[in-house]
Amino acid sequence: MRKDSPDFREVAHAGGKITFNYIIDDEGRRKFSVRFEGSKPNTFRLWTLYALPQGIAVGSVTVGGVGVPWNPPPHPSCIPVMMPSDSEGYFGHQCPVCKKYWRSPGGWAQLPLSCAYCGYADEQHRFLTDAQQKFIESYCYVVLSGAEREQSSVTMDMDAVADACGKESEKPPFYYAEESQQSLLQCTACGSLSDILGVFGYCCVCATRNNFSHFLSVAEEVRARISSLKNYENCVRDIVSAFDSIAGDLLRELVRRIPMIKKRKEKFLRFRLHNLETVAKEVLECFGIDLLFGMPSKDVEDAKVFFHRRHLYEHKGGEVDEKYIQDSGDFSVRLKQVLRETVESSHRSVSLITTLMSNFNDGFHEIFPPLDEPVAYENERKRRLKQT
């Protein structure tokens, strides 16, 4: 599923008030408790992290529910920091490797987060944005200076932070906002949302790449056009073109992530996915992924013909030329004849290309497997939903 949203809006902080109450325990040690109060009628989430006193985040807190103790901090001096989301319930993330930015409602505290663009996986606090890091520094400073001044409590008013969004005026010390991106993706494997730049990316929670689900949505749209008796030739052209661009992105991702000699890399970066025979051969030889897996030979032959037809529809107005007959082996047509598709042939093209794409996706994720836990959790949720 993909919903388009207006690009690059500044999204305000969720607001609310964070209050620290300082207490002296029986042994005279100063401790504090922390409370968050939301005050605006918007969606918000809280992400609790452990930070060293100087404001360096070192881990996430696993909040297991009422009565369940938190996981112990990585160091005894750690301060638990509550970080509210933006007013849409999202947190910004910045990849420490590729430096790109995206938003999500957050990952699982006990599991690594994956970069939506390059797939790099690490603990969630390694993806903090500069603004979030500044927020954590200020937060720790307030907590520690309140304790030093022996105050009984300190309140951080985050509403002022939220209200400053989009205004030219000087920002409060804790100010941070997020920025909406271009495509709101819902992972079909684990159900998580990510707001990313561009169209293709990884689910940051389970690391499933969205190419196949994106292809399926194109296939659904093409099938709807076939059913409404629209131009069948364009439908065949479009589904093969979708494979070209969507499988092309997946191929470039393999080339980017798998070490290989420069010559091979360059060859793949120039590679065009116009001829199924060549594509299937190269992908099998170089990556061990069989695009034609499980396909009867008649299906393979028909799929190859659809690739050649796509070239005619795109560049020759659908008129048969010598090259088409030689390359496709389709001797049922004559030179200069305009090709015609039917409801059956165009639906068949969608089915065959979907199998190719599914095989490619399976092979890709055999090399780069998604995380099991979020996917299993989502499957269980769906199973329960069906029962009710």
Nearer to Zn ion, 77 or 110 (CB): 110
Q: How far is the CB of 98 from Zn ion (least distance, A)?
A: 3
From the list 77-85, 107-115, 224-232, 317-325, the region that binds Zn ion by CB under 5 A is 107-115
Joined together, the tokens standing for residue 220 give 């659904």
State the Cα–Cα distance between residues 291 and 365, nearest whole angstrom: 13
Q: Is 320 in the site for Zn ion (CB under 5 A)?
A: no
Nearer to Zn ion, 293 or 377 (CB): 377
Q: How far is the CB of 374 from Zn ion (least distance, A)?
A: 6
From the list 38-46, 51-59, 115-123, 338-346, the region that binds Zn ion by CB under 5 A is 115-123
Q: How far is the CB of 373 from Zn ion (least distance, A)?
A: 11
Q: Is 97 in the site for Zn ion (CB under 5 A)?
A: yes
Contact 17, 37 (CB under 8 A): yes
In 3D space, the residue among 45, 360, 378, 86 whose CA is nearest the CA of residue 203 turns out to be 378
Of 1, 23, 98, 335, the one binding Zn ion by CB under 5 A: 98
State the Cα–Cα distance between residues 75 and 242, nearest whole angstrom: 51
Q: Is 295 in the site for Zn ion (CB under 5 A)?
A: no
Contact 185, 201 (CB under 8 A): yes
Q: How far is the CB of 385 from Zn ion (least distance, A)?
A: 17
For residue 58, give the 3-state DSSP assignment: strand
From the list 37-45, 92-100, 243-251, 285-293, the region that binds Zn ion by CB under 5 A is 92-100
Q: How far is the CB of 366 from Zn ion (least distance, A)?
A: 17
State the Cα–Cα distance between residues 325 and 108, nearest whole angstrom: 55
Q: Annotate each residue in 127-166 with x if it binds Zn ion (CB under 5 A) or - if it does not, as one string.
A: ----------------------------------------
Nearer to Zn ion, 11 or 116 (CB): 116
State the Cα–Cα distance between residues 172 and 170, nearest whole angstrom: 7
Joined together, the tokens standing for residue 176 give 């941070």
Q: How far is CA 156 from CA 129, 141, 345, 349, in A?
A: 20, 12, 65, 60
Paired sense of beta strands 91-94 and 101-104, if any? antiparallel
> DSSP states of 98-149 as a string?
T--EEEES---TTS-EE-TTT--EE-GGGG--HHHHHHHHHHHHHHHHHHHT
State the Cα–Cα distance between residues 309 and 291, nearest whole angstrom: 19
Nearer to Zn ion, 94 or 234 (CB): 94
Phi, psi angle pair for 36, to nearest 5°: -115, 130
Q: How far is CA 387 from CA 285, 381, 383, in A?
A: 45, 10, 7
Nearer to Zn ion, 205 or 352 (CB): 205
Q: How far is the CB of 108 from Zn ion (least distance, A)?
A: 11
From the list 119-127, 145-153, 212-220, 268-276, the region that binds Zn ion by CB under 5 A is 119-127
Q: Is 95 in the site for Zn ion (CB under 5 A)?
A: yes
Nearer to Zn ion, 162 or 190 (CB): 190
Q: Is 23 in the site for Zn ion (CB under 5 A)?
A: no
Residues 164-223 that bind Zn ion (CB under 5 A): 187, 189-190, 192, 203, 205-206, 208
Nearer to Zn ion, 16 or 374 (CB): 374
Q: Is 1 in the site for Zn ion (CB under 5 A)?
A: no
Q: How far is the CB of 199 from Zn ion (least distance, A)?
A: 16
Q: How far is CA 355 from CA 188, 225, 243, 384, in A?
A: 17, 20, 11, 29
State the Cα–Cα distance between residues 138 and 25, nearest whole angstrom: 26
For residue 331, give the 3-state DSSP assignment: coil
Q: Is 118 in the site for Zn ion (CB under 5 A)?
A: yes
Nearer to Zn ion, 108 or 120 (CB): 120
Residues 329-388 that bind Zn ion (CB under 5 A): none
Joined together, the tokens standing for residue 89 give 């319930």
Of 18, 115, 165, 242, the one binding Zn ion by CB under 5 A: 115
How many chain residues interact with Zn ion (CB under 5 A)? 15
Provide the binding-site residues for Zn ion, judged by CB under 5 A.
95, 97-98, 115, 117-118, 120, 187, 189-190, 192, 203, 205-206, 208
